[in-house]
Structure 1
Amino acid sequence: MSKTMLAARMYNVAEEMRVEEVPIPTPGFGDVRVRVHAVNIVPNLSNILSMWTTWFPGDPLPTLPATFGLDPAGEIEAVGEGVIGWSVGDRVYVNPGRYCLNCNACRHGDMVNCSSYAFAGYFGFSPSSVQLLDRYQGGLSEYMVAPSYSLVKLPDNLDYNSAARFGYLGTMYSALKKANAAPGKSLLVNGINGTLGLGAALLAPAMGLTEVYGTGRNPAALSAVEALLPGRIKVHSLADGPVDEWVHSVAGGGVDIYVDALGPGADHETFREGMRSLKRGGRCVNIGAMMGDLVIDIHDMMDQQKAIIGSLWSTPGESQELADMVAAGTLDLSPLEHSVYPLSAVNQAISGVASRNAGFSNYIISPSGE
Structure 2
Amino acid sequence: MAVSETMTAARMHKVGGELKLEKLPTPKPGDMDVLVRVKACGIVPNLGNILANWPTWFPHMPQPPLPAVFGLDPAGEIAAVGRQVHGLKPGDRVYINPGRSCGTCRHCRRGDSIACKHYAFQGYFGFSEDALQTFADYPIGGLSEYTVAPSSAIVKIPDIMTYEQAARLGYLGTVYSALKKANAGPGDTILVNGISGTLGIAAAIFGPAMGVRKILGTGRDRKLLQEVKALAPSRIEVFSIDDGSVTEFAMKHTDGEGVDAFLDCLGPGALHETFLQGLRGLRRGGIAVDIGAVMGPVAIDVHWLMDHNQRLYGSAWFTTQEGQEMADLVAAGAVDLSMLETQGRKLSEVNEAISGIAQRHGGFSNFVIYP
Q: Does 1:291 align with 2:310?
A: no
Q: Whole-Å Cα distance in 2 between the matches of residues 44 and 174 of structure 1?
A: 21
Q: What is the match of residue 156 of structure 2?
A: 153
Deviates further, 13-22 or 156-165: 13-22
Q: What is the match of residue 191 of structure 2?
A: 188
8 A contact 2:179–2:207 mirrored in 1? no
Q: Secondary structure at the match of 2:204?
A: helix
Among candidates 322, 328, 339, match of residue 324 of structure 1 = 328
Q: What is the match of residue 225 of structure 2?
A: 222
Q: What is the match of residue 130 of structure 1?
A: 132
Q: Secondary structure at the match of 2:94?
A: strand
Q: What is the match of residue 91 of structure 2?
A: 89
Q: Whole-Å Cα distance in 1 between the matches of residues 175 and 127 of structure 2?
A: 20
Alignment of 1:206-355 (within 5 A): 206-252=209-255, 253-355=257-359
Deviates further, 42-51 or 137-146: 42-51
- Structure 1 stretches of 5 or more lacking a match? none
Deviates further, 242-251 or 323-332: 242-251
What one-letter code is carried by the residue in structure 2 that aligns with 1:335?
M
Q: Secondary structure at the match of 2:15?
A: coil
- Structure 2 stretches of 5 or more lacking a match? none
Q: Deviations over 1:290-347 (max 9, x none)?
A: 1111101111111111110011111000000001000000011011000010001111
Q: Whole-Å Cα distance in 2 between the matches of residues 224 and 108 of structure 1?
A: 42
What one-letter code is carried by the residue in structure 2 that aligns with 1:90?
D
Q: Does 1:364 align with 2:371?
A: no
Q: Deviations over 1:206-246 (max 9, x none)?
A: 10112100001111110100111112111111111111122
What one-letter code is carried by the residue in structure 2 that aligns with 1:188?
L
Q: What is the match of residue 31 of structure 1?
A: 33
Q: CA deviation at 1:109?
A: 2.2
Q: CA deviation at 1:32?
A: 1.0
Q: Whole-Å Cα distance in 1 between the matches of residues 73 and 265 of structure 2?
A: 19
Q: What is the match of residue 178 of structure 1?
A: 181
Q: Deviations over 1:43-91 (max 9, x none)?
A: 2322220111111111110110010000000000011221121111011
Q: What's the TM-score once normalised by structure 2's chain length?
A: 0.97
Q: Would you identify which runs of 4 or more consecutive aligned residues in structure 1 move more than 2 Å? A: none
Q: What is the match of residue 171 of structure 2?
A: 168
Q: Deviations over 1:3-53 (max 9, x none)?
A: 211101111111121111111111112111100001110123222201111
Q: CA deviation at 1:204?
A: 1.9
Q: Does 1:105 align with 2:107?
A: yes
Q: Deviations over 1:126-164 (max 9, x none)?
A: 111112123212100011111111001111111100011
Q: Secondary structure at the match of 2:327?
A: helix
Q: What is the match of residue 145 of structure 2?
A: 142
Q: Does 1:6 align with 2:8?
A: yes
Identity, in percent, stands at 57
Q: Whole-Å Cα distance in 2 between the matches of residues 132 and 114 of structure 1?
A: 11
Q: Whole-Å Cα distance in 1 between the matches of residues 37 and 50 of structure 2?
A: 25
